[in-house]
Amino acid sequence: MEQCIISSPLGFTKISGDAQGIASITILNSEERHTDIIPVALQDCVQQLLEYFEGTRKVFDLNLNPQGTAFQNRVWEALQNIPYGTTLSYLQLSQQLGDVKAIRAVANANGKNPLWIVVPCHRVIGSDGSLTGYAGGLLRKQWLLEHESPYKQQRLF
């Protein structure tokens, strides 16, 4: 498995993958240095993430190879169908998967998503519109949602 670390507006991001596809994209909470040489298998992913942060990419076109249960993979596939700039509640996502009672399992699979941003778990919010748990932290989730919002707010401070 090849790896690299890139710098993003939200901190250093570690990408792991091989010829089979991208296995994980995670935000690092430590001060690791970015990688000078990007392995060939990861170059498209790095380029597409940079385009996302520049605001020129709304849909990712990558071979993904996350490791998870069959249910987790179903949830992660459903997450990829949430359009850029929109959100769904955990309840709506569980309804789309055909089981309203699976809301906790859906939330759990969402929390174990190994593909930060590319599988957009940040687009899932509480039924009341509140920002709920996010492995990268709620400030990053808020940043991502604002970044994707068609109604961008300019910060005064």
Which residue numbers are catalytic? 121
| Cβ-contact 17, 48 below 8 angstroms | no
* 3-state DSSP assignment of residue 32: coil
132-138, long-range: CB within 8 Å, 24+ apart, which pairs?
132/90, 132/107, 133/107, 135/27, 135/111, 136/10, 136/27
